[in-house]
A and B are shown apart, each in its own frame.
Chain A
Amino acid sequence: MRRPKLLYVPFWLTYVFLYLPIAVLVAMSFNSGESAYTFEGFSLKWYGVLAEDERIKDGLINTLIVATGATVIATVLGTMLAVGLARYSRSKILDAVSLMPAVLPDLVLALGLLVLYGTIQLTLGLYSVVLAHGLFAMAFVAAVVRTRLTGTDTSLEEASRDLGAGPVVTFMKVTLPQLMPGIVAGALLAFTLSLDEFVIAFFTIGNGEATLPIVIYSMIRFGVTPKINALAAILLLVSFTAVIAGQRLTKIGESRAQD
């Protein structure tokens, strides 16, 4: 196949475009000066300042609580939904509705939930974010598990049913073990999505509470310091490592499945 030389221009442009801002951000986190923009000299002092920031620590704890809660809701309900849709329903409408939280703009989901909470006069807190994140993460878990389900052999489930097991027993003993890799992948996806989610959390969180993305957002609005750059650099490192590790894991899983 031909690869015209001219195509390499937009190709490399894409990668420079994607990585230049991140690279500058990380470089600026090692600034010894007070400015987030002009580099004066190398220093790790902002990482030290970061470690003492209580707001960031609280934000991180809140984020982990929300992500854990949302992942539990999303994984349990999303898996059941995927099995139900794949094995017990032929409805296109139910398929579409179960995907809607992943397709609708986050702003629409966010204000819908705000209106719901306001109408039933629920006091907002962290749990209102957990319930909200559970909703959109569930759609992603259901989608991931669903792809796994279409790949599995139904003859084992049929054999189990023929031998007299009910739907629940068949699910626990036959379907669930086969689905495990998909469920784990879906749970990881749910957790990662919740960690980074800003818009829905911003609308549904209680007064005076904040998840990490909300902390960062408000810090930036009050003026930027290299401290934010240091925090950003750490978070970038964490997500890059997680994605690459996830990539390796799925590769190992795939090669095992083929053996």
Chain B
Amino acid sequence: MKSEVKTQPVSRSRGRRLGAFVFLSPGLTYLVVFMLVPLALVMSYTVFQRGRFGGVVYEFTTENFERLIDPLYLSVVGESLKIAAITTVLALLIGYPTAYLIAQLPPRWKTMALVAIVLPFWTSFIIRVYAWTILLSGPGLLNSALAKLGLGPFELLYNQGTIMAGLLYSYLPLMVLPLYAAIERLDPQLREASANLGASGFTTFRKVTLPLTVPGVLTGCMFVFVPSFGNFVVPDMLGGNKSIMVGNLIRNQFLSARDWPFGATLALALIAVLVLLLIAQAWAARRA
């Protein structure tokens, strides 16, 4: 009896270690080989010289970082930040009221309204962006409609506004969903209490609803900002040749200019911006 009590925990812990090994090692190996090693390689490439046809020559240089602070490249990073930030604010401005209303619909309509928000998100990204070129092109629908009013035609495609519209269109569902989740969780009694104590609808929103949904707002903003900032497909298809973002720059360094070390340095800058934002978000969420 005594010996059983003693041996059981030992065999249990051996079983646990075996289980951990059997279940975790394949997936973790995959993550190490295809994600962590590649990321380490990208980081290391930032201090090496470019190879002639892509790749790298393993000789130390700081040249890539010197090029990074060239105003030409810094301005592209700045423009990308601006485009992603405006897109995020626009998504919040139309996403919040939408999520707020959906949360208050009767259950049947609520499900339908949510599915209708998510549905476009499950269709091909390329096709959704392409749809905008049809809508906005010179002889397209919007210009024809404006012509009937005696206006235009306008050059609606290929500028920063078009890029923002395309990004907003692509990632708006990612703003609405976390906002909806945050608003839905609110206890309705809090708002009732606020109203009973004489607060107007707007005061209740400002003092009760909004502060309690800040975590949802922050999550939604990250979900829109992160894929917008590093995007190259939308500016490629809707931005024309004039407007490029940091994503296009990185794509070009890797696939056309074949300067992998500089592409890696730009990617490092992109990751650095996103990590800083994540830290800021975590800090803001803790304060909220």
Contacts and interface: CB of A to CB of B under 8 A. Distances in A.
Interface of A: 1-4, 7-11, 13-15, 17-22, 24-25, 28, 35-38, 73, 76-78, 80-81, 83-85, 87-89, 94, 97-98, 100-101, 104-109, 111-116, 118-119, 131-132, 134-135, 138, 142, 161, 166-168, 171, 192, 195-196, 198-199, 203, 213, 216-217, 220, 224, 228-229, 232, 235-236, 239-240, 242-244, 247
B280 to A, nearest CB: 16
Interface of B: 12, 15-16, 18-20, 22-24, 26-28, 30-31, 33-39, 41-42, 45, 54-55, 93-95, 97-98, 100-102, 104, 115-120, 122-128, 130-135, 137-141, 144, 168-169, 172-173, 176, 188, 191, 201, 226-227, 229-233, 237, 247, 250-251, 254-255, 260, 263-264, 267, 270-271, 274
Contacts of A240: 119, 122-123
A71 to B, nearest CB: 14
A224 B23 contact: no
B133 A220 contact: yes
Contacts of A22: 120, 123, 128, 131
A76 B22 CA distance: 13
B95 A14 contact: yes
B124 to A, nearest CB: 5
A108 B268 CA distance: 9
A18 B116 contact: yes
A10 B94 contact: yes
B227 A161 contact: no
Contact of A89 (B20, B26, B101, B255): B20
Helix, strand, loop or mixed for chain A's interface? helix
Nearest to A247: B115
Contact of B254 (A80, A114, A142): A114
A24 B233 contact: no
Contact of B120 (A11, A19, A80, A213): A19
Given A24-B135, A203-B255, A232-B130, A243 B115 contact: yes
Contacts of A107: 230-232, 247, 250-251, 267, 270
Contacts of B100: 7
A167 B120 contact: no
A112 B42 contact: yes
A159 B173 CA distance: 44
A213 B264 CA distance: 25
A14 B176 contact: yes
